[in-house]
Amino acid sequence: MTLTGTQYNGIVDYIWIGDNVPPNSQGQYQIDVFPNGPGSYDYGFAAFVNGCYSDTVTVTVTVTPAPVLAIDVVGDLDCVDGTSSITLSTAAIGLSTIEWTDGNGNVLSNANPLVLSNVDATDSGLIQLTGTNLQGCIGYGSTFLNHHGRH
């Protein structure tokens, strides 16, 4: 993420304070920071302009974790005959968008749960799930369905 302080004219030395502030950031009015994961991070900015220090401005950045998208599969994978149904779902809460795709990237559904109807052994393959939470963080899940036809 990029942090931008007020740019001043004249002889200026910019000062950044906070977790994971890059060592080469001092003297720059704009820097990129990379928080180490979910949590709250405080960053401070001040400028030394023409021999005087500005007030230090502090901003708190909150990093939200990506959603965990575990996939539950309900249905008989061992005995499919073209009339079987399999339901895939995630218990993740607070998702603003959801997308189920096959191994080729074809969208199967934008709803939870995903119901696959008329499943037979040729429908085996990778199923992928992408979900975005209300804060815009993206999570992923996947499962491989290995169907066996009736004997």
Instruction: Quote the pLDDT of residue 5.
Output: 84
Enumerate helices (H) and strands (E) in the chain, giving the number of each: 0, 13
Q: Which fold would CATH assign to domain 72-145?
A: Immunoglobulin-like (2.60.40)
Q: Where do the structural domains in the chain lie, given as residue ranges?
A: 2-63, 72-145
Q: Per-residue pLDDT for 151 more than 60? A: no
Q: Per-residue pLDDT for 42 more than 80? A: yes
**Model confidence band, residue 139 (pLDDT cutoffs 50, 70, 90):** very high
Side chain identity at 47, as an amino acid letter?
Answer: A
Number of residues written out for the chain: 151
Instruction: Quote the pLDDT of residue 14.
Output: 87
Sequence-ordered list of residues with C-beta below 8 angstroms from that of 68, at least 6 positions apart, any chain: 92, 139, 141
Q: First vs last Cα of the chain: how many Å apart?
A: 56
Mode of pairing for the β-strands spanning 2-4 and 107-109: unpaired
Could you count the other beta carbons within 10 Å of the beta carbon of residue 82? 13
Instruction: Quote the pLDDT of residue 141.
Output: 96
pLDDT, mean of residues 49-71 = 89
Give me the percent of the chain exceeding a pLDDT of 90. 49
